[in-house]
Amino acid sequence: MSFGSRLVKNTLISQAQAKVKHDLAAAWMVFHEKLHDIKEIVSLTAARESLHDAIRIKKKDILLKYLGRVREEYELDILTLTDHKGRVIVRTRNPSVVGDDMSQDEIVKWALNRGILAHPQIITRKELLKEGEDLSYKAYMEFIETPKAAPRPENKETSGLMLKAASSIVDENNRLLGVLYGGILLNRNYEIVDRVKEIIYKGEKYKGREIGTATIFQHDLRISTNVKNERGERAIGTRVSKEVNNAVLVEGKPWIDRAFVVNDWYITAYEPIKNIAGNTIGILYVGMLEKPYIDTTNRVMFTFTVLALLCVILLLVILYFSTTRIINPLQRMVVATQKIAKGDLSHKVEVKSSDEIGYLANSFNQMTADLKAANEKLIEWGKTLEKKVEERTKELTEMQAHLAQSEKLASLGKLAAGIAHEINNPLGGVLIYSHLLLEDTDKNSPHYENLKKIVKETSRCKDIVKGLLEFARPKEPETSLIDINEIVESSLAIVERQALFQNITIKKMYSSNLPRTVADSAQLQQVFMNIILNAAEAMDGNGILTLITSLTDDGTHIEVKFSDTGHGIRKEDKERLFEPFFTTKEVGKGTGLGLAISYSIIQKHQGTIKVQSQVDKGSTFTVKLPVLRELEHD
């Protein structure tokens, strides 16, 4: 700010300064014009023939009258005539004082040497008193206390400053008749300074004060000026400031700068007034009140400041908008990235603008959405993989259970076969002999019933052993190309007539496009019959039996499903279902060999039997057989 203010101030003030310097030149013109006028009046008067004649005949009264008229007409303060030696003959302002010698006066001396000269000159009080007592009063000035003026031992001025011209008076024979000199006392004479002010400043005012001023100094003392003091009077009797005094009066240089004049700051120009010998005897000054310029500077500075403030406000507004439009969305994006980094992919950046930021936000949201989709796909894949692993694990456990079951059955089979073989023959004997005994015993004999029981139980034992042998050493299948639907149907036909099936509804869903396959029809019939009987028993003769045959999708296997609505199988029983002798039926009712035999038959056929069951709802037995088209045996 201070830089700007200084710049404005310097520019304005230096322009004003240049003007003031120019004004001083104009002031000099007025000053010299006045000097020239005096010189003209004096020289023209000195050249008058009538003056020559009057001098020659020494007619003092005529001379006094004539020269007195000239002095009044041209408003000279003094007009004095000397003889050819410089002695005063006529003194128009003070006629009573004559005969004194003026030959030592610098200007008169010049004229005595047959010249014409005009110059400013200091006139002492003594000289002033000679020329006219009133002039000494006019010149007399007591110093007025002036701030910033250089101290001086004197406190008053008694001499005066005069514009003075002298001309020699020479007759037609070139004889020197005398010297005529005249002048104007500048003390308290305001003609020059007011003319300068009039010409240059045309009476311009600023807040009731004159802007332009001019002054003539006698040494440092204002003797003619239009600078005013506080009371509005001309500030004569005041003195020049110390710094100007040093520059102009002591060093004889011009002063062109601001200066404190009487009671205010002015933009000024001072130049020395010199006497004939070249010594500085006074100063010519012009100056302009600084205040209008300072005020202008301040006004400019005020405008400048207001403009600067407006700029700052504008910048702040721009900053605010750029913050809300750029930084805030970016911040929201940063928050969003942090959320995304923590795994929240559903987060969206809300930016409604349609510029680059909006575009960026949209791309960002798009990226998040893509990321989310990719992530979801990954999770989905993970789940599928898990499911697949689960399925495979289940299959493996099933396979393992199956293997264990097979092994268990095999060892059990061996044991059973050994026992059955050993028991079979003695049992045959027991049966034959007990039969014979029964035949020989009278029906009324008390042993008859007991023998009958022995035969019955032995037959039962024989059946068990037969079953065991069948399980342990099953016959090799006698295969032929068969129709599974027919086998299911014939198996059903055999058992269906029993009283157990009277209240059982049988639903059949046979596939019409089953291929024929190679199998032992009798063995399969045995398996199916056993499963159907088990189902009927589980339903206690009351329920629905559903028979379904189908071909697997890949066409490699035939499935036969037997679903009942019976009491179902408990979980712990399910594992032992295919073990020989496992039965839940009461003793004597079932052998528990039915499913064990069925299992080994189906195994021989390279098929499987599986059970699904829910307690109190029912069970489904599924027999799965491969589709074999070639006969392996004959």
Ligand X SMILES: Nc1ncnc2c1ncn2[C@@H]1O[C@H](COP(=O)(O)OP(=O)(O)OP(=O)(O)O)[C@@H](O)[C@H]1O
Nearer to ligand X, 523 or 619 (CB): 619
- Name the one residue in this structure whose structure tokens are 């406190």: 155
CA atoms within 13 A on the CB side of 14: 6
Nearer to Mg ion, 272 or 594 (CB): 594
Q: Does 534 bind Mg ion (CB under 5 A)?
A: yes
Q: Does 184 bind ligand X (CB under 6 A)?
A: no
Q: Does 577 bind ligand X (CB under 6 A)?
A: yes
Q: How far is the CB of 524 from ligand X (least distance, A)?
A: 16
Can you read off the two tokens belonging to residue 209?
């004060």
Q: Which of 190, 265, 510, 582 binds ligand X (CB under 6 A)?
A: 582
Nearer to ligand X, 86 or 566 (CB): 566
- Name the one residue in this structure whose structure tokens are 């007991």: 450
Nearest to 562 by CA among 512, 633, 477, 621: 621
Nearest to 423 by CA among 450, 460, 453: 460
Specify which residues 89 forms β-bridges with: none
Q: Does 226 bind Mg ion (CB under 5 A)?
A: no
Interaction partner, residue 535 (ligand X, Mg ion, none; CB < 5-8 Å by kind): ligand X
- Name the one residue in this structure whose structure tokens are 């060999």: 593
Q: How far is the CB of 566 from Mg ion (least distance, A)?
A: 13
CA 198 → CA 226, 302, 513, 603, distances in Å? 11, 33, 137, 143
Nearer to ligand X, 260 or 471 (CB): 471
Interaction partner, residue 564 (Mg ion, ligand X, none; CB < 5-8 Å by kind): ligand X
CA 544 → CA 502, 533, 550, 562, distances in Å? 11, 13, 19, 10
Q: How far is the CB of 597 from ligand X (least distance, A)?
A: 8
Q: Which of 595, 609, 623, 625 binds ligand X (CB under 6 A)?
A: 595
Q: Does 132 bind Mg ion (CB under 5 A)?
A: no
Q: Does 619 bind ligand X (CB under 6 A)?
A: yes
Interaction partner, residue 593 (Mg ion, ligand X, none; CB < 5-8 Å by kind): ligand X
Q: What is the DSSP letter of 499?
A: G
Q: Which of 248, 583, 602, 609 binds ligand X (CB under 6 A)?
A: 583
Contacts for 37 with CB less than 8 Å, ≥ 6 apart: 74
Q: How far is the CB of 399 from ligand X (least distance, A)?
A: 22
Contacts 24+ apart (CB under 8 A), 57-66: 60/89, 60/90, 63/89, 63/90, 64/90, 64/92, 64/95
Q: Which of 162, 591, 600, 624 binds ligand X (CB under 6 A)?
A: 591
Q: How far is the CB of 386 from ligand X (least distance, A)?
A: 34
Q: Which of 592, 608, 612, 622 binds ligand X (CB under 6 A)?
A: 592
Nearer to ligand X, 183 or 566 (CB): 566
Q: Does 460 bind ligand X (CB under 6 A)?
A: no
Distance of CA 444 to the CA centre of its chain: 122
Q: Does 585 bind ligand X (CB under 6 A)?
A: yes
Q: How far is the CB of 497 from ligand X (least distance, A)?
A: 18
Interaction partner, residue 287 (Mg ion, ligand X, none; CB < 5-8 Å by kind): none
d(CA 212, CA 50): 46
For helices 191-201 and 2-46, the axis angle rounded to 10 degrees is: 130
Interaction partner, residue 538 (ligand X, Mg ion, none; CB < 5-8 Å by kind): ligand X
Distance of CA 489 to the CA centre of its chain: 87
Total of chain residues touching ligand X, rule CB under 6 A = 21
Q: Tell me, residue by residue from 530 to 569, as one string, x for binding to ligand X by CB under 6 A and - for no binding.
A: x---xx--x-------------------------x-xx-x
Q: What is the DSSP letter of 323?
A: I
* Cβ-count burial 207-227 (b if 16+ within 10 Å, e if not): eeebbbbbbbbbbbbbbbbbb
Interaction partner, residue 584 (ligand X, Mg ion, none; CB < 5-8 Å by kind): ligand X
Q: 355, exposed or middle or buried, with CB in 10 Å at 0-12, 13-18, 19+?
A: exposed
Q: Which of 590, 604, 627, 628 binds ligand X (CB under 6 A)?
A: 590
Q: How far is the CB of 502 from ligand X (least distance, A)?
A: 18
Q: How far is the CB of 343 from ligand X (least distance, A)?
A: 51
Q: 296, exposed or middle or buried, with CB in 10 Å at 0-12, 13-18, 19+?
A: middle
Q: How far is the CB of 617 from Mg ion (least distance, A)?
A: 20
Q: Does 501 bind ligand X (CB under 6 A)?
A: no
Residue 430 φ/ψ, nearest 5 degrees: -55, -45
> What residues line the site for ligand X (CB under 6 A)?
530, 534-535, 538, 564, 566-567, 569, 577, 582-585, 590-596, 619
> What residues line the site for Mg ion (CB under 5 A)?
534, 594
